[in-house]
A and B are shown apart, each in its own frame.
Chain A
Amino acid sequence: MGQATEDLSIRGRVWFEQLAQGGAPVAGLAESVLASDLRMGTREARIIAVVPDPGNPFPRAARGEFGLLEGWNVAKAVTDAVAADLNAPVKRALVAIVDIPSQAYGRREEAYGIHLALAASGGAYAAARMAGHPVVALIVGKAMSGGFLAHGYQANRIIALDDPGVVIHAMNRAAAARITLRSVADLEVLAAKVPPMAYDVRHFSTLGLLWRLIQVGDPQHPSAQDLALVRQTLLEALDDIERVPFRSRLEAPNRAASAAVRARLREEWQ
């Protein structure tokens, strides 16, 4: 109960600042939403990260949580880019850097419609993708639940660092244990035989949702080599999107039921 005791994560900001070097910062956004326009290979791109703002006007979103301002401001950063490129022959790429510990839990959030704020950003990314902007998500830390749905999951390609600090899930361990009336230890045991319940990125990668898993030397303080590798991977992702805009995420054996359901629906659809 109460405030998380973990330190605020720096990964989102670190990776944003490194990857956005030389770019033009986008003004007019909340302190927790960083965006920068720069050239990536032959394309223009807008990189967007959500980072902790201890001065967040919404106190329950002051530790990096994805809340009201984050949702609407990410939506703004994305839709402004789409509007600016409306008549551009080549639509700029959108790169979401993901390091989000959770959505914001609070009275203000529920009262003022945080669910709509998350729809705004997720919907904006989806619309951008459908309008021809290549969208890539780079998970450098946590990608949790509503925050990831709103910022990253609508990408054409999802890339993650291969690191124990990368955690993708629907709810933190302690809360998930309480809600499902099990112990955290029980959940760990279950995760070993139920891969979708696991928290680590290796298990996540068996679900067929990631396009690449990148090995870097230091995910907290990336070296020049780490950055070069990630930049190269992002460029390859953009090339791949251009060749094949939509790649199936239904190939993995662990998602066999997802594919089977769709095939059956198609058979019975009239």
Chain B
Amino acid sequence: MDTSQLLKTVSFIEMGARERAFALLDPGSGHELIGPFERMKSPWLEPQGIAAQADDGVVVAKGSIGGQPAVVLAIEGSFQGGSLGEVGGAKIAGSLELAAEDNRRGVPTRAVLLLETGGVRLQEANLGLAAIAEIHAAIADLRRHQPVVAVVAGTVGCFGGMSVAAALCSYLVVTREARVGLNGPQVIEQEAGIEEYDSRDRPFIWSLSGGEQRFRTGLADRYVEDDAAGIAATVRELFAQGVPAQHRDQRIGEFLDLLARVDTARQPDGAYARAAFGKGN
């Protein structure tokens, strides 16, 4: 990107969830569902002495994308690390369920998930986990009708049960700052030791789970600049692709073959993982 382009870019990462959601919808087309002034807060946080955000950290913005009905679900990474509790989880699952229902009656509502999340909110544990299971079910349902697009931009990244949700989506868009992984670095280090995973070694972490690496190993579909307009255009382009013939998680034989060829005795680095996943990038 040259200087004049850089001067025109607007950082998506620096936007909060609300701003990101509306940046993806056709201008003027969107309205928020269960916004903060409706005060559907977590029933579980204040009893634990934790201040609850009025929208429980999830924004539901409904409108259109490229002229087609769409809903954007955006997780606010700054609130409790973007972790999902009962209410936020229900906002996402319920919206995806309604989108699928729309499709069954002939309305082509598609969905975008903006994922800055550590996964389950441990202060709500089993209700967060249940909500994520319902999110998985709803993605599996909706993606038969319309592409479901996930965007992970950073700085929180996408971890836990929501990384599994990202993997179930039809398309995944990532930036360089993004990370996608099942387990957070600190938990891996705690469970497996610092030799296995050093949670303070940022280059190491990004070399395995960063956006560029995920793209180069074929686990993400678009690797984009941190620019709101560019990301919005990428989302429109992906919807235009339609539902893929086969979702990535359905390529079972292919991934079993890849794993069978991996030398499991060695600890991989980014280069080895790229070689192993056959892209040679």
Contact = CB atoms under 8 A, between A and B. Distances in A.
Nearest to B41: A257
B249 interface: yes
A146 interface: yes
Nearest to B254: A72
B161 A194 contact: no
Interface in A117-172: 117-120, 122-124, 126-127, 130, 145-146, 148-150, 153-154, 168-171
Nearest to A259: B90
A75 B249 contact: yes
B247 interface: yes
A120 B123 contact: no
B264 interface: yes
Interface residues of B, number: 85
Contact of B187 (A2, A112, A126, A175): A175
Contact of B33 (A193, A194, A260, A268): A268
A197 B191 contact: no
A180 B118 CA distance: 12
Given A58-B264, A108-B264, A119 B249 contact: yes
A249 to B, nearest CB: 7
B48 to A, nearest CB: 6
Contact of A107 (B123, B208, B259): B208
Contact of B90 (A102, A262, A269): A262
Contacts of A178: 186, 190
A258 B131 contact: yes
Interface in B73-125: 86-87, 89-91, 94-95, 97-98, 119-120, 122-125
A243 interface: no
Given A72-B252, A110-B188, A146-B161, A115 B180 contact: yes
A171 B120 contact: yes
Nearest to A190: B48
Interface stretch (B4-12, B163-171, B236-244): B163-171
A204 interface: yes
B250 interface: yes
A185 interface: no
Contacts of A193: 47
Contacts of A197: 44, 122-126
Interface residues of A, number: 77
Given A72-B259, A175-B190, A269-B98, A111 B167 contact: no
B133 A149 contact: yes
Chain A: interface secondary structure? helix
Contacts of B34: 261, 264-265, 268
B47 to A, nearest CB: 6
Contact of B168 (A73, A103, A122, A194): A122
B181 interface: yes
Contacts of B161: 145-146, 149, 170
A246 B95 CA distance: 18
Interface of B: 33-34, 38, 40, 42-44, 47-48, 60, 62, 86-87, 89-91, 94-95, 97-98, 119-120, 122-134, 136-137, 140-141, 144, 160-161, 163-168, 180-183, 186-188, 190-193, 196-197, 208-209, 217, 219, 247-250, 252-253, 255-256, 258-259, 262, 264, 267-270, 272-273, 276-277
17 contacts: A1-B192, A57-B264, A69-B259, A72-B255, A107-B192, A107-B267, A122-B140, A146-B160, A146-B161, A148-B129, A170-B160, A170-B161, A171-B122, A180-B123, A258-B90, A265-B60, A268-B34
Interface of A: 1-2, 57-60, 68-69, 72-73, 75-76, 79, 102-103, 105-120, 122-124, 126-127, 130, 145-146, 148-150, 153-154, 168-171, 175-176, 178-180, 190, 193-194, 196-198, 204, 207, 209, 249, 254-258, 260-262, 264-266, 268-270
Given A107-B197, A209-B130, 19 more contacts: A60-B192, A75-B252, A105-B188, A105-B196, A111-B273, A116-B219, A119-B248, A122-B164, A123-B247, A149-B136, A153-B130, A154-B136, A170-B119, A170-B129, A197-B126, A207-B130, A255-B130, A258-B131, A269-B98
